[in-house]
Amino acid sequence: MAKTREPCKDIRDKIVDLHKAGMGYRTIGKQLGEKATTVGAIIRKWKKFKMTVNHPRSGAPCKISPRGASMIIRKVMDQLRTTRQDLVNDQKRAGTTVSKKTISNTLRRHGLKSCSARKVPLLKPAHVQARLKFSNDHLDDPETKIEIFGLNSTRCVWRKKKDEYNPKNTIPTVKHGGGNIILWGCFSAKGTGRMHRIEGRMDGAMYRKILASNLFPSVRALKMGRGWVFQHDNDPKHTARATKEWLHKKHLKVLEWPSQSPDLNPIENLWRELKVRITQRQPRNLKDLEKVCMEEWAKIPSAVCANLVKNYRKRRLSNILLFALFCLLHDSMCF
Per-residue tens of pLDDT for the chain, all 335 residues: 445 677 888 899 999 999 999 999 999 999 988 999 999 999 998 888 888 887 777 777 788 888 888 888 888 888 888 888 999 998 888 888 899 999 888 888 888 888 777 676 665 666 555 544 433 333 333 322 222 234 445 567 777 777 777 777 676 665 555 567 788 888 888 888 888 888 888 888 998 998 999 888 988 898 887 778 888 877 888 889 999 999 899 888 887 765 545 455 677 788 888 888 887 777 777 788 888 888 998 999 988 888 887 776 666 555 544 444 444 444 434 43
d(CA 136, CA 155): 32
User: Taking the CA of residue 55 as centre, how many other CA atoms within 13 Å lie in the half-sphere pointing to its CB?
Assistant: 9
pLDDT value, residue 154: 58
d(CA 44, CA 50): 9
| φ, ψ (nearest 5 deg) of residue 194 | -75, 160
- In 198-225, which positions are buried (b, 16+ CB within 10 angstroms) versus exposed (e)? eeeeeebeebbebbeebbeebbeebeee
- Whole-model pTM: value is 0.49
pLDDT value, residue 76: 87
Report helix angle 100-109 to 66-78, nearest 10: 80
d(CA 104, CA 75): 14
pLDDT value, residue 125: 66
What is the 3-class SS of the chain, one letter each residue? CCCCCCCCHHHHHHHHHHHHCCCCHHHHHHHHCCCHHHHHHHHHHHHHHCCCCCCCCCCCCCCCCHHHHHHHHHHHHHCCCCCHHHHHHHHHHCCCCCCHHHHHHHHHHCCCEEEECEEEECCCHHHHHHHHHHHHHCCCCCCCCCCCCCCCCCCEEEECCCCCCCHHHEEEECHHHHCCCEEEEEEECCEEEEEEEECCCCCHHHHHHHHHHHHHHHHHHCCCCCCCCECCCCCHHHHCHHHHHHHHHCCCCECCCCCCCCCCCCHHHHHHHHHHHHHHHCCCCHHHHHHHHHHHHHHCCHHHHHHHHHHHHHHHHHHHHHHHHHHHHHHHHHC
pLDDT value, residue 130: 54
The C-alpha angle 150, 205, 199, rounded to 5 degrees, equals: 30
d(CA 5, CA 12): 13
pLDDT value, residue 39: 92
pLDDT value, residue 19: 92
d(CA 154, CA 173): 12
